[in-house]
Amino acid sequence: MSIDNWKTNQNQATSSSAADHFDATDVEQPEVSFAETALRLGGKSADEARRTGAIDAADDQVEALFAPQYQTANSAVHRAVWERRVPTELFGRPAGRLSADVKSVMDESLRVVRRHRRTGTLLDSEQKISTTVLNELGGTGYWGLLVGKEYGGSGAEFIHFAQFLTRTAMFDPTVAGLASVHGCIGAVDPVRTFGTPQQKERFLPELASGRRLSAFALTEPCAGSDLTALRTQAVRDGDDFVVNGEKLFITNVLPGRTIGLVCMIEERPAVLIVDLPDEETDRFWLKRYGLHALKHTHNYGIVFHDFRVPARNLLEPLRGDGLTIAYHGLNLGRVALCANAAGTMRLMLANIIPWANFRSTYGEAIANRELVRRRIGHLAGLIVACDALVEWCAGLIDDGYRGEMECIVAKVFGSEAQKEAAVELFMKTHGGRAFLHGHLFGDNVHEFLAPCIYEGEGEMLGMAFFKSLVKQHGKQFFEPISQALHGAGIARPNLLNPLHLAVIKGPLAKYGKWLVGRKLRGAIRENLPPMPAELRAHALFAREQLGRSCFEISGTMRRHQLKLADRQCRMSELSWRMQQTVVILCTSLYAGRQEDEIIRAAGSCLCNNLRNQLTGRRPSDRNFRHVTELGAAIAGGAFASIAGVEPEEILMSYE
């Protein structure tokens, strides 16, 4: 595949402006990654260093797909921490105008879902989303929203697609989730981003029409977060690859569908696009198991035994391997998960309000009680924050940024917010009725909790966020010190020893210059847009916290040095604080752009809550007054963005 084709294909697969942000220069990758070097110097086994180094190298290869100005080191979060000026202009922008043809596809798709929900025909006899619904959605163009028009799709911008998932989840989160599986982490993104023109011609029209729905087969019984443990093998035999192995937890897989299969070819991860046979055979069959989550979708294991795949189905990125392809699509999936959470929590809120107005205690509706009002107000804040993160991250992706750390923030916050909303707000407000058959919570509790695991478990992703944040700083300042010590055979440096000091004098002086220079710089320059005073205060707090955090992060690296990889608790805790601060900044800026006073108030209440958690400050009476007044207004019908959601029937009502 030529460099010119790469540029052309990116232009077709993404928005026209984003295509120019990919770097087409052929940069040679280092043979040994930073992570592998650090682990070797830190005393890890050669095997662990190699495995971790492979993941780090895959990350470098994904970075190389983007021009330098759109890589992680120039991302919004990275610059907010390591530069004195926090680039608030990169922390969200309103979505552009939605084209009429894309809007038509979206509106018609929602009509299909709403109609089947009202008539009780959304699910089949196995309680899965019915084939009829899937086919009707195919007729609307639902499955081709992210596919270019030249291949039969709509070519929607990702920001519009992500916000549409929120609207879809308000009617059915599973249908919204299937669009994400198909378009973000299924076969669509790998083919449109890494496929040759011939591969796109063969696969994308079928995927866009929904005639072949897709999935991504990555996880294995022994390979979850550790993708270096993959065992599925594909061996070249003439014009085919012969595949043997087993995959696990593959959503949206059935005979007759198309999957992106991650496997090992000549000891390197690779991706094959596989059209599964219409029937199970002795070469391919599904492994069925009971699964509480994803109960309305088909989620199975897949077993391959001497299964043949045409060699022309191999995706061959200009740089990297199968892990590069997998990592690319996961970012889209993480934003989509947050978008789904925003819609699902709206569904919860739309069901809390009628119950709170119906249920009385001591002669008074619980909607008038402070605790319930606080729950309603806080739930609105969680929704607004997810909306802010979705708009922010999807906009960055459309603008050409990689968005690795930003998408992690969206995924972790969205999944944790949905979990909190389900258990602490929705379940507790409904009491015992929450566990009745037929209740939204009781019937879907696993669906509400499981996203904490999807697209990477939250704390594992938090460490990935931290590693991305410190990677360049480590390479620039700490790796030269470690290599100098290692080259001199010094295992335990002593700065009071003149010989030791002489060995690291050069790189140590370079680090000292950075540290002193950063501390001597003046205050952060005011660069916030016009916004209400309270939201401005939140944005200033977050901006100041992010700007100062470099000292604590660098100090942690200095303290633990090569043992930092083993300090998972410290990395996780630091990462959590950074992520929460980013959410405050993003939410305050988003709410400040809105005209709706309820959205502004909800955003402010959420920021207050996160600030209290970060500072250890107790909520003030003013904080409680604001959130309960917000809850009262929403209980009275003031939250416009849940209009049109039809609440479930109140179970076991009484006269």
The CATH number linked to 426 is 1.20.140.10
pLDDT surpasses 80 at 13: no
Do 613 and 487 fall within a single domain? Answer: yes
Q: Tell me: do 356 and 420 sit in the same domain.
A: yes
Pairing mode, if any, of strands 268-275 and 258-265?
A: antiparallel
User: DSSP character for 318?
Assistant: S
Q: Tell me: the pLDDT tens digits for 224-234?
A: 777 778 999 99
Count CB neighbours of 126 within 10 A. Answer: 9
189 CB contacts (<8 Å, ≥6 apart)? 146, 183, 328, 329, 332
Final residue in a domain of this structure, among 266, 292, 315: 315
Nearest CA to 543 out of 525, 556, 559 is that of 525
Q: Do both 445 and 501 map to the same domain?
A: no
The full DSSP string for 193-225 is HH--HHHHHHHHHHHHHTSS-EEEE--BTTBSS
pLDDT at 301 over 80: yes
Q: 43 in a domain, yes or no?
A: no
Same domain, residue pair 490 and 602? yes
CATH code for the domain of 261: 2.40.110.10
The dihedral built from the CA positions of residue 164, 168, 174 and 178, taken in this order, carries a sign that is negative
pLDDT at residue 525 in the model:
63
Q: What is the pLDDT of residues 476-495, one digit of tens each?
A: 999 898 888 888 888 788 87
Same domain, 468 and 615: yes
Q: What is the pLDDT of residue 522?
A: 63
pLDDT higher than 90, residue 44: no
Give me the mean pLDDT over the 524-528 stretch.
Answer: 71
103: in domain: no
Q: Could you read off the pLDDT of 239-268 as tens digits, one per residue?
A: 999 999 999 999 999 999 999 999 999 999
pLDDT for res 526? 63
343 and 446 within one domain: yes
Mean pLDDT of the chain: 90
Residue 7 has pLDDT above 60, yes or no: no
For the stretch 467-476, pLDDT in tens is 999 999 999 9
Residues 470 and 592 in one domain: yes
| Same domain for 368 and 254 | no
Query: Which residue, among 412, 417, 395, has the nearest Cα to 343 in the 3D structure?
Result: 417
- Which of 267, 287, 315 represents a domain boundary (last residue)? 315
Residue 501 covered by a domain = yes
Residues 495 and 597 in one domain: yes
> How many folded domains does the chain comprise?
3
Which H helix or E strand runs over 38?
helix 34-41
C-alpha neighbours within 13 Å on the C-beta side of residue 609: 22
Within-domain flag for 280: yes
- Using the 8-state DSSP alphabet, how is residue 618 labeled? P
Is the pLDDT at 382 greater than 60? The verdict is yes
Compute the C-alpha angle 557/562/566, nearest 5°: 90
Number of residues that this document lists for the chain: 655
pLDDT beyond 50 at 273 = yes
Q: Are residues 311 and 336 in the same domain?
A: no
State how far Cα 145 lies from the chain centre. Answer: 19
Q: pLDDT tens across 162-220, in order?
A: 999 999 999 999 999 999 999 999 999 999 999 999 999 999 999 999 999 999 999 99
What span, in angstroms and rounded, lies between the C-alpha atoms of 358 and 356? Answer: 5
- Determine the Cα–Cα distance for residues 212 and 276; give it in Å rounded to an integer: 10
Predicted local confidence at residue 518, as pLDDT: 87
> Would you say residue 8 has pLDDT above 50?
no
Residue pLDDT, tens place only, 275-298: 999 999 999 999 999 999 999 999
Residue among 397, 426, 294, 374 nearest 14 (CA): 397
- Say how far apart CA 169 and CA 156 lie, in whole Å: 18
Residue 254 counted as domain residue: yes
Asked if the structure places residue 589 within a domain, the reply is yes
Q: Hey, what are 429's tokens?
A: 């407000």
In terms of Cα–Cα distance, which of 424, 417, 225, 445 is closest to 339?
Answer: 417
> Is the same domain home to 592 and 466?
yes
Residue 357: which domain range?
A: 330-458+635-642
* C-beta separation of 227 from 254 below 8 A: no
pLDDT the model gives residue 86: 86
| 72 within some domain | no
pLDDT higher at 3 or 419: 419
Do the domain assignments include residue 13?
no
Nearest to 431 by CA among 347, 346, 363, 355: 355
pLDDT in tens, 315-334: 998 777 888 888 888 899 99
| pLDDT band at residue 4 using 50, 70 and 90 as cut-offs | very low
Same domain? 300 vs 351: no
> Percent of the chain at pLDDT above 70?
91
* pLDDT at res. 587: 98
